[in-house]
Amino acid sequence: MNKNVVSGYVDGLRAKAFSITTINGVQDNTLTLSGFAKCFNGLIIDGGASNLQNMTATLIINNDVVIDSATPAFFETDASNPRQYFEFYRPLTGQDTITLRIQDTGAQSLEVLVYYQNRPA
CATH number for the domain spanning 113: value is 2.60.120
Q: How confident is the model at residue 36 (pLDDT cuts 50, 70, 90)?
A: very high
CB atoms within 10 A of CB 89: 13
Closest CA to 98 of 24, 35, 10: 35
What integer pLDDT is reported at residue 53 of this predicted model?
Answer: 84
Note down the domain range covering 79. Answer: 3-117
d(CA 75, CA 14): 19
Strand partners, 114: 16, 43
Give the pLDDT confidence of 2-32 residue by residue, as tens digits: 555 545 555 689 999 999 999 999 999 999 9
Percent helix, percent strand, percent coil in the chain, to nearest 5: 15, 50, 35
Closest CA to 52 of 36, 30, 76, 81: 76
Domain total in the chain? 1
What integer pLDDT is reported at residue 10 of this predicted model?
Answer: 59
Give me the mean pLDDT over the 38-67 stretch. 92
